[in-house]
C-alpha cells in the first residue's frame, strides 16, 4: 500500500525522472538527485526553471549551484504548523514532505483520545516535524530525541515558528538506544512511539549505528516502553535494500499488543503527470 502526502499547499513535486526530482518549496524551485526516479523525465516540463540544483560529487557528497541568491532559510506551512527550510550541504532541506502522510495518521489518533493523557516519544527525531504534529494534535507531552545537537536546535526553531512554546516538548540530545534503556530503568511508558532510524550514524559520544545490525534489537527494546493503553507504534525507513514486507514480518514476530499492522510505501504525487514518486517505507501498529 502506498500512502501519498496529498495535503500540501507549500510543497509540490513538479516532476521526477532520470534519477532527479524537480520540486517547489513554497516559491523556490529545487532540482535534486533521486535514485528511485529511474523513468524518463516529462518532456513537457521545463527542467531548467530551477533556482538551485544539487550536484553529486564522484568523491561522495556534493554541493548546490544557485541560479540566484536564495535567503539563508525560508518557512513553509503545513496546516497549522510552520517549518524552517534551507538547502543543506548533504542535499536535504530539513523537511521530508512525504512524512505528512504519517503526520495526518498520528494527528487523528491523538485527537481521538480527547482528554486522556497522551505521552509521545519521537526517536531519531531530526528537525521535529512529527514532534510538532503530535504536540499540536493535543499530546500532553512529546519527548524528542536525536543525537545531533544541530538538528535538535533546528527542531526548537520549528517549535517557535509554529507557536508551540507553551506546549510540553522535551528536546534531548542523546544516543537513542541509551535513552531508551534509561527510560526502561525509570519505568517510563509512552502512548505513541515513532522512529526514523538512519542507515548509518554516530551518537554524540561516537556510538556507531548500522541499520541492519541494530534495528531489530532497538525495536524490541523500544516496545518495552509502550504503555498498556498505547495507541500507535511507527517505524519509518529510507534504508535501501529493505522492503515493507521485511518490516511486516518484523512487526508480526515482535511482542506488539493486539491491534492492526499496516506496512507500505510513502509517496509524493507528481503534479505534472499521473505518477507517484516513492519516498521510503513505513510500518504502523495501532490499537483496534
DSSP 8-state secondary structure symbol assigned to residue 11: E
Tens digit of each residue's pLDDT (9 = 90 or more) over 120-151? 999 999 999 999 999 999 999 999 999 999 99
Share of the chain above pLDDT 70, in %: 95
Give pLDDT, residue 241.
80
SS3 114: coil
pLDDT grade, residue 237 (50/70/90)?
Answer: very high
Residue of 115, 24, 34 lying closest to 280 (CA atoms): 34
Give pLDDT, residue 70.
95
Give pLDDT, residue 12.
98
Give pLDDT, residue 114.
80
Give pLDDT, residue 222.
96
Q: Where along the chain do its domains lie?
A: 2-70, 93-286
Residue 277 CA: distances (Å) to CA of 129, 145, 269, 273: 20, 29, 6, 11
Give pLDDT, residue 214.
80
**Which CATH number is correct for 2-70, 2.60.40.1180, 3.40.47.10, 3.30.365.10, 2.40.128.20?**
2.60.40.1180
CATH 3.40.50.150 fits 93-286, yes or no: yes
- What's the rounded mean pLDDT across residues 5-17? 98
Cβ distance 207 to 146 under 8 Å? no
The grid coordinates listed for 195 are 522512529
Tens digit of each residue's pLDDT (9 = 90 or more) over 153-210? 999 999 999 999 999 999 999 999 999 999 999 999 999 999 998 776 666 666 666 6
pLDDT grade, residue 90 (50/70/90)?
Answer: confident
Q: What's the Rg (C-alpha) of the chain?
A: 19
The grid coordinates listed for 70 are 536564495
Residue 40: CB atoms within 10 A of its CB come to: 8
66: left (phi over 0), alpha (psi -120 to 50) or beta: beta
Give pLDDT, residue 208.
62
Helix (H) or strand (E) holding 106: helix 100-111
State the average pLDDT for the chain. 94
pLDDT at 57 over 90: no
93-97, 148-152, 215-219, 279-283: least confidently modelled range: 215-219
Cβ distance 176 to 204 under 8 Å? no
Amino acid at each position: 500500500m502506498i500512502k501519498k502526502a496529498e495535503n500540501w499547499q507549500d510543497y509540490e513535486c513538479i516532476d521526477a525522472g532520470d534519477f532527479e526530482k524537480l520540486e517547489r518549496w513554497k516559491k523556490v524551485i529545487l532540482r535534486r538527485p533521486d535514485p528511485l526516479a529511474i523513468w524518463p523525465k516529462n518532456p513537457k516540463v521545463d527542467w531548467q526553471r530551477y533556482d538551485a540544483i544539487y550536484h553529486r560529487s564522484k568523491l561522495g557528497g556534493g554541493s548546490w549551484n544557485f541560479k540566484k541568491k536564495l535567503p539563508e532559510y525560508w518557512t513553509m506551512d503545513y496546516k497549522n504548523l510552520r517549518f524552517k527550510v534551507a538547502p543543506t550541504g548533504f542535499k536535504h532541506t530539513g523537511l521530508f514532505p512525504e512524512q505528512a502522510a504519517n503526520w495526518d495518521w498520528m494527528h487523528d489518533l491523538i485527537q481521538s483520545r480527547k482528554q486522556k493523557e497522551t505521552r509521545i516519544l519521537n526517536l531519531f527525531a531530526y528537525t521535529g516535524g512529527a514532534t510538532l504534529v503530535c504536540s499540536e494534535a493535543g499530546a500532553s507531552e512529546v519527548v524528542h530525541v536525536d543525537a545531533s545537537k544541530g538538528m535538535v536546535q533546528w527542531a526548537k526553531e520549528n517549535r517557535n515558528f509554529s507557536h508551540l512554546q507553551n506546549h510540553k516538548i522535551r528536546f534531548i540530545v542523546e544516543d537513542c538506544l541509551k535513552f531508551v534503556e534509561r527510560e526502561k530503568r525509570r519505568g517510563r511508558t509512552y502512548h505513541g512511539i515513532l522512529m526514523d532510524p538512519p542507515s548509518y550514524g554516530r551518537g554524540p559520544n561516537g556510538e556507531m549505528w548500522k541499520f541492519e545490525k541494530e534495528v531489530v534489537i532497538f525495536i524490541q527494546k523500544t516496545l518495552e516502553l509502550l504503555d498498556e493503553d498505547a495507541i500507535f507504534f511507527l517505524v519509518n525507513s529510507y534504508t535501501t535494500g529493505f522492503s515493507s514486507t521485511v518490516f511486516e514480518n518484523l512487526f508480526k514476530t515482535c511482542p506488539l499488543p493486539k491491534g492492526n499492522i499496516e506496512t507500505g510505501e510513502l509517496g509524493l504525487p507528481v503534479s505534472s503527470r499521473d505518477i507517484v514518486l516513492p519516498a521510503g517505507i513505513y510500518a504502523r501498529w495501532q490499537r483496534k
